[in-house]
Structure 1
Amino acid sequence: MQIFPAIDLSGGQVVRLYQGDYDQMTVYGQDPCAVAREFLDAGCLHVVDLDGARDGTLANFESIAAIARQGGLFIEVGGGIRTEDRIREYLDLGVSRCILGTVAVKDFAFTARMAEKYGEKIAVGVDARDGYVAINGWKELSPEKGVDFCRRLYDAGVGTIIYTDISRDGAEQGTNLSVYRELAGIAGLRVTASGGISSLDELRELQRIGTHAAILGKALYTGRLDLKAVLEEVGVC
């Protein structure tokens, strides 16, 4: 199972939100590049432009560019990617994969086209609150259930899904294992688990049920999980 340490960016700083609430933000670093270097052993990095997710801007583009220039990491980036031009901008930086979020709900046909054109360089982030897909920086709920949306995306050609239960995100109270067991039933879909993962036992269970990858955020920053121990347990990118 691949492990993606997470760097969430706001105002050029490394931060974490609690359950997607921008008013409950903790700053963990002023230098995103330095934080990225701490995660080199993982081989993978998950980066989210929180400002971009909220308003569609490129507020943290330079920080992401600087991380990409360092090299040594498979980098996936999400947050405010809603046009093909934005996808190309990130891929031209050396980013390995772009994550579509809000646009996947609002313009499903565009998402299917991008998945067909760019293949594994495209993933979709499915963020769910109370089982329903959330959009626009997690501020609004769509009427579609998250698992149903994942099935529809896979049928449209999207191979990689990053599924986050917002209620677990940043809470260090465990991830939603039941939803990942359900998603494991979508044969062929590569699922990345995200939100609340805080123990090696959870990672072992995710690996057992066939989860493709896991994103680790707050548990790494608080020291609840040790990256070296995690990599020894479940492998590297």
Structure 2
Amino acid sequence: MKLFPAIDIIEGCAVRLVKGDYAQKTVYSKEPVSVAKGFAEAGATYLHLVDLEGAKNGGTPNLEIIREIVKESGLLVEVGGGIRSEETIQKYLEAGAFRVILGTAAVENPDFLKDMVSKYADKVAVGVDIKEGMVAVKGWTELSQESCFDFCEKLEKIGVKTIICTDISKDGLLAGTNLALYHQLSEKFRVNFVASGGVTTLADIEQLQKIGLYGTILGKALYTGNIDLKSAIELTKGERQ
């Protein structure tokens, strides 16, 4: 199972939110490049990077610092947050990202998603952010009319290979992840699922690995010290992640 340590960016700083609430923000570092390099030094291969300003308002306000993170860390960086046009996809890929994550655009513009998957294949993943069983959009500030399972079925038919699935109710609480949800998803669909939200302990990682998930995102638990990245990598078969 692949591990994706996470950096969420607002105004060039590495932050974490609680349940996606922008009013409940903790700044963990004003130097996200250093944070990314620290993950690399611990043995990470991948990085999950979200521009929270982009997610809420669109645009690429943190593009230059994301470019610097890719260059300086040497990590394989996937980027999400406000990616709603092909121009933005191209900007991030040209900045060195190995994969971009569509969220709001995938929900609101399925024809755009089809075109981008056709053109960029597995360089395009989709973030499915779930609140009360429905898919949330625009930085988790609004609910769509799409249920989680119906939407994932559509994504599979379109040809999406990787889905990053976040249970918003678990995010940032350090209270465990939604194992039942990920088990259901992995049983029902033939895509690569990445678990996100509430992964708090090495035991959580172990349980997700038993389900057979493609990957999991490690967020707040890394910043608080609840999970040691080196130990997590060792647990996931000791492979370079």
Q: TM-score range by the shorter chain?
A: over 0.9
In structure 1, give the amino acid aligned to 2:202. Answer: L
Aligned to 2:12: 12
Aligned to 2:209: 207
CA distance in 2, matches of 1:184, 1:43: 24
Q: TM-score, normalised by structure 1?
A: 0.98
Q: Deviations for 1:117-168, whole angstroms, at most 9, x for unmatched residues? A: 1111110000010110000110100111112211110111101000000010
CA positional deviation for 1:57: 2.1
SS of 2:90's equivalent? Answer: helix
CA positional deviation for 1:187: 4.1
In structure 1, give the amino acid aligned to 2:132. Answer: D
In structure 1, give the amino acid aligned to 2:233. Answer: L
CA distance in 1, matches of 2:233, 2:74: 16
Contact 1:3 1:236 in 2 (8 A): no
Contact 1:199 1:225 in 2 (8 A): yes
CA distance in 1, matches of 2:217, 2:84: 22
Aligned to 1:216: 218
Structure 1: gaps spanning 5 or more residues: none
SS of 2:234's equivalent? Answer: helix
CA distance in 2, matches of 1:119, 1:171: 34
CA positional deviation for 1:236: 3.4
Match of 2:186 among 162, 176, 184: 184
Aligned to 1:109: 111
Alignment of 1:27-38 (within 5 A): 27-38=27-38
Alignment of 1:40-55 (within 5 A): 40=40, 41-55=43-57
CA distance in 1, matches of 2:188, 2:63: 34
In structure 2, give the amino acid aligned to 1:75. Answer: V
CA distance in 2, matches of 1:185, 1:56: 34
Aligned to 1:119: 121
Q: Percent identity?
A: 49
Match of 1:170 among 154, 169, 172: 172
Alignment of 1:24 onto 2:28: no
CA distance in 2, matches of 1:194, 1:187: 17
Match of 1:232 among 209, 231, 234: 234
Contact 2:36 2:73 in 1 (8 A): no
Runs of 4+ with deviation above 4 angstroms: none
CA distance in 1, matches of 2:168, 2:229: 23
Contact 2:200 2:226 in 1 (8 A): yes
CA positional deviation for 1:188: 2.4
